[in-house]
């Protein structure tokens, strides 16, 4: 059922998974590139990859010279390399290509996120309300919005899994099938147990018994895997876990003994050690070449507005496509995922007030609501904004911004964790309403929850075509020798608009037959502590100064152009490939073709949507 819903939401790409993407910007090209890169590296290690851009032996899953070939390559540990998922999806990438792998990841993400949330919610709810609430998480505004270009952030299984492991380590778990009864006398099993207050404390001698080792290793592997999906989600999960533990300390005293805390402490330390061991290659790479040496993003821009939770967001049926709230600067719609709707917030308040004294729900509601509020306060960022106006000059998130590494978290993205907490509260309310459906209160709460669901139903996400010249799928092997260094025009640009980086898709589709001089990534250069694309070469500078200033193209036979081309040759560039019909090629029709024909001579290949110019002549 979840898969069917996801296919409906992403129906346009499901109908054409090899030619469409759901993306308002062009970050999708970046992830298509990394998915192809990981699959190609794995194929090389297994002995059946081609001798293309990875043939030099300098490339690995986390460091590559396949792009930014003239600038020292790219440090994938500081980028959204999706190394973990690219390996899992590698067989599909080999068979169907990286664009289809990317779209399968997009369609699958709400499903697996929902299942991970269900794993958490079934710790304290019956299966049906747990799965309904979990579906709300998987198809929330946050997840659907981030999937329009950011699968590393929309593939959000780690936060609920970590919360579930924390809960099980603190409370322990009964053997499957052991009957018990909740505070209302309802007979349950360990799978759907809803008791909170009458859990049996963990005896000292059983701290390391039963499931301790399984939970510890499981938690360590989940955290270790997350290093290779998104370190930002991992860092956000760390902050959310601190909020969760604080909420447990206040509201979970009835179910957590000192032995439970000891069990969690020991298990948490051991799990962290396992995670760090798994992450060792990434951590070592982070200290390697081309790492950014400054803050990746400016602070105070990606802050959640206090009105964001109640203003319909782009991915919902009620959304207008863009948030009407004023922003410090234009923000990608993929970041506008805080919307949950007024009815859901009203329902949450009613549920907490009405059930907080109910022994069956009090602990879960106290912990979930406290965690959600604490995380949302952090998601507001610093300063705190109301309708785009500064309400508080300094918010609590300023403390996070002062901590190295954590200062790269965008506060807007923390709403993932407050959303999970909100749906935990709503799940408790749904369970109570279903148990009391014959009463007026039960029917009223069910109606309010239904309205809440309608307000956040995601719309069918609009897709756009991916432009890929036929050359990269058909004749490239006959024209460009494997391992060549290629300068592509238009080159990849760090622009937040469609098609800006599709040259990266072309390289990925070709099976990484060549190394690219351009690239979109996070790194550094001798001139800047943080860069977002490959530095311009001498020819780029000439073309940029002319085209973007509205001036004529430079003199193709002039000394400046000749010197720029000679410099490219000296740096090892073998070919220049022009895609004259590419959507974002600057200049007028035919201008680039005429310029290259006059400066480089006739192309050695002119068909299938490209012109290929050899510099080795």
Cis, bond preceding 383 (omega within 30 deg of 0): yes
The number of residues in the chain equals: 617
Top pLDDT among 558 and 51 is at 558
Which pLDDT score, from 0 to 100, does residue 434 have?
97
In the predicted structure, residue 150 carries a pLDDT above the cut 90: yes
pLDDT of residue 547: 65
483 pLDDT more than 50: yes
How many other C-beta atoms are found inside a 10 Å radius of the C-beta of residue 210? 14
In DSSP terms, which residues pair with 516 in a beta bridge?
Answer: 486
Q: Which helix (H) or strand (E) holds 131?
A: helix 127-138
- Those residues whose C-beta lies under 8 Å from the C-beta of residue 549, and which sit 6 or more positions away, are none
Q: Is 552 exposed, middle or buried (0-12, 13-18, 19+ CB in 10 A)?
A: exposed
Mean pLDDT of the region 481-510: 92
Q: β-strands 575-578, 484-489: how paired?
A: parallel
Which of 170, 206, 168 minimizes the C-alpha distance to 190?
168
- ω into 490 cis (within 30 of 0): yes
Which residues 6+ apart lie within 8 Å of 2 measured at CB?
110, 111, 114, 115, 135, 138
**pLDDT band for position 49 (cuts 50, 70, 90):** low
Quick one: pLDDT at residue 323?
A: 77
Q: Which H or E run contains 36?
A: helix 27-46
- 436-453 average pLDDT score: 96
Query: What's the pLDDT score for residue 53?
Result: 58
CA–CA dist 363, 350 (Å, integer): 16
202 band by pLDDT with thresholds 50, 70 and 90: low
* 3-state SS assignment for residue 423: helix
Across 38-47, 236-245, 345-354, least confident range = 38-47
pLDDT of 348 over the 50 cut: yes
Overall average pLDDT of the 513-522 stretch: 95
Alpha-carbon gap, residue 3 to 224, rounded angstroms: 27
DSSP 535: P
Give the model's pLDDT for residue 548.
63
Residue 196 has pLDDT above 80, yes or no: no
Cβ neighbours around 459 below 10 Å, total? 14
pLDDT of residue 58: 64
498 φ, ψ (degrees, to nearest 5): -60, 145
Confidence band of 534 (pLDDT split at 50, 70, 90): very high
| Helices 440-455 & 342-355 angle (0-180, nearest 10) | 150
Q: What is the pLDDT of residue 381?
A: 96
Q: pLDDT band at 307, cuts 50/70/90?
A: very high
**Lowest-confidence region among 247-256, 298-307, 336-345, 561-570:** 247-256
Selection from 83, 116, 198 nearest residue 423 by Cα: 116
3-state secondary structure (DSSP) of residue 16: coil
Tell me the pLDDT tens digit for each residue of 78-121. Answer: 998 999 999 999 999 999 999 999 999 999 999 999 999 999 99
Strand ranges in 315-438 using DSSP code E only, listed in sequence order: 384-386, 389-392
Give the Cα separation of 137 and 145 in Å (integer): 12
Mean pLDDT across the chain:
90
Q: Is 73 helix (H, G, I), strand (E, B) or coil?
A: coil
pLDDT band at 320 (very low <50, low <70, confident <90, very high): confident
Split at pLDDT 50, 70, 90, the class of 195 is very low
163-180 average pLDDT score: 68
Distance CA 581, CA 606 (A): 13
What does the longest C-alpha to C-alpha distance in the chain come to? 90
Asked whether residue 476 carries a pLDDT value surpassing 70, the answer given is yes
- pLDDT band, residue 43 (cuts 50/70/90): very high
616 DSSP assignment? -
User: To 5 degrees, how large is the angle CA 455–CA 461–CA 467?
Assistant: 165
Please determine, for residue 189, whether its predicted confidence score (pLDDT) is greater than 70.
Answer: no
Whole-number Å distance between alpha carbons of 77 and 150: 17
Is the per-residue pLDDT at 179 higher than 70? no
> Rounded to whole angstroms, how far apart are CA atoms 264 and 207?
9
**Backbone phi and psi for residue 391, each to the nearest 5 degrees, phi listed first:** -95, -40
What 8-state DSSP symbol labels residue 77? G
| Residue scoring higher pLDDT (85 or 494) | 85
Quote the CA–CA distance of 241 and 442 in Å, as a whole number.
33
Does residue 177 have a pLDDT over 60?
Answer: no
The pLDDT assigned to 194 comes to 38
- pTM higher than the cut 0.85: yes
Residue predicted with more confidence, 54 or 330? 330
DSSP 276: H
pLDDT at position 295: 80
The pLDDT, as a whole number, for residue 89 is: 97
Could you give the angle at which helices 258-286 and 158-171 cross, rounded to 10 degrees? 150
In this structure, are residues 52 and 513 in contact, taking their beta carbons and an 8 Å threshold? yes
Residue 467: exposure state from Cβ atoms within 10 A (0-12, 13-18, ≥19): middle
Backbone angles phi, psi at 253, to 5 degrees: -65, -25
Q: What is the pLDDT of residue 550?
A: 66
Quote the pLDDT of residue 41: 94
């Amino acid at each position: 059922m979840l898969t069917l819903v996801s296919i409906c939401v992403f129906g346009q790409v499901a109908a054409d998974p090899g030619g469409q993407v759901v993306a308002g910007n062009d970050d999708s090209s970046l992830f298509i590139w990394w998915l192809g890169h990981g699959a190609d590296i794995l194929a090389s290690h297994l002995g059946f990859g081609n001798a293309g851009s990875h043939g030099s032996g300098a490339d690995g899953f986390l460091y590559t010279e396949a792009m930014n070939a003239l600038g020292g390559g790219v440090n994938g540990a500081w980028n959204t390399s999706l190394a973990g998922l690219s390996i899992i999806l590698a067989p599909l990438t080999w068979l169907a290509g990286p664009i289809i792998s990317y779209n399968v990841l997009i369609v699958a993400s709400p499903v697996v996120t929902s299942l991970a949330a269900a794993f958490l919610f079934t710790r304290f709810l019956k299966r049906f309300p747990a799965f309904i609430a979990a579906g709300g998480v998987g198809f929330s505004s946050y997840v659907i919005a981030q999937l329009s270009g950011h699968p590393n952030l929309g593939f959000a299984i780690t936060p609920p899994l970590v919360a579930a492991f924390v809960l099980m380590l603190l409370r322990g778990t009964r053997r499957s099938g052991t009957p018990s009864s909740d505070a209302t006398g309802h007979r349950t099993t360990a799978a759907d147990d809803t008791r909170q207050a009458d859990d049996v404390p963990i005896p000292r001698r059983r701290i390391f018994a039963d499931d301790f080792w399984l939970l510890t290793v499981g938690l360590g592997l989940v955290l270790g895997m997350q290093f290779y999906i998104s370190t930002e989600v991992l860092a956000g999960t760390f902050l959310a876990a601190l909020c969760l533990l604080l909420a447990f300390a206040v509201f979970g005293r009835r179910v957590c003994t000192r032995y439970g805390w000891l069990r969690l402490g020991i298990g948490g330390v051991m799990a962290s050690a396992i995670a760090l061991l798994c992450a060792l290659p990434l951590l070592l790479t982070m200290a390697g070449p081309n790492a950014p040496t400054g803050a990746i993003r400016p602070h105070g821009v990606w802050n959640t507005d206090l009105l964001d939770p109640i203003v319909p967001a782009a991915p919902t049926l009620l959304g207008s496509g863009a948030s009407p709230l004023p922003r410090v600067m234009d923000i990608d719609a993929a970041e506008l995922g805080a919307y949950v709707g007024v009815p859901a917030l009203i329902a949450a308040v009613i549920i907490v007030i009405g059930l907080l004294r109910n022994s069956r729900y009090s602990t879960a509601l106290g912990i979930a609501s406290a965690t959600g509020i604490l995380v949302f306060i952090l998601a507001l960022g610093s300063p705190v904004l109301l309708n785009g106006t500064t309400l508080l000059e300094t918010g609590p998130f300023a403390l996070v911004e002062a901590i190295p590494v954590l200062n790269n978290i965008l506060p807007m993205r923390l709403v993932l964790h407050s959303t999970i907490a909100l749906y935990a509260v709503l799940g408790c309310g749904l369970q109570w309403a279903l148990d009391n459906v014959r009463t007026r209160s039960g029917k009223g709460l069910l109606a309010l929850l239904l309205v809440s669901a309608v307000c956040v139903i995601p719309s069918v996400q609009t897709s756009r075509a991916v432009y890929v010249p036929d050359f990269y799928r058909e004749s490239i092997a006959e024209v460009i020798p494997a391992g060549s260094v290629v300068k592509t025009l238009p080159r990849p640009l760090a622009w937040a608009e469609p098609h800006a980086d599709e040259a990266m898709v072309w390289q990925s589709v070709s099976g990484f037959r060549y190394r690219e001089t351009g690239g979109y990534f996070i790194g550094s250069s001798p001139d800047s502590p943080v860069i977002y694309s490959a530095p311009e070469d001498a020819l780029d500078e000439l073309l940029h100064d002319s085209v973007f200033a509205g001036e004529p193209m430079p003199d193709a036979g002039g000394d400046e152009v000749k010197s720029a081309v000679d410099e490219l040759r000296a740096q090892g560039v073998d070919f220049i490939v022009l895609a004259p019909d590419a959507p974002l090629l600057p200049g007028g029709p035919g201008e680039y073709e005429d310029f290259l024909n006059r400066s480089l001579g006739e192309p050695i290949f002119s068909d299938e949507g490209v012109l290929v110019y050899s510099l080795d002549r």
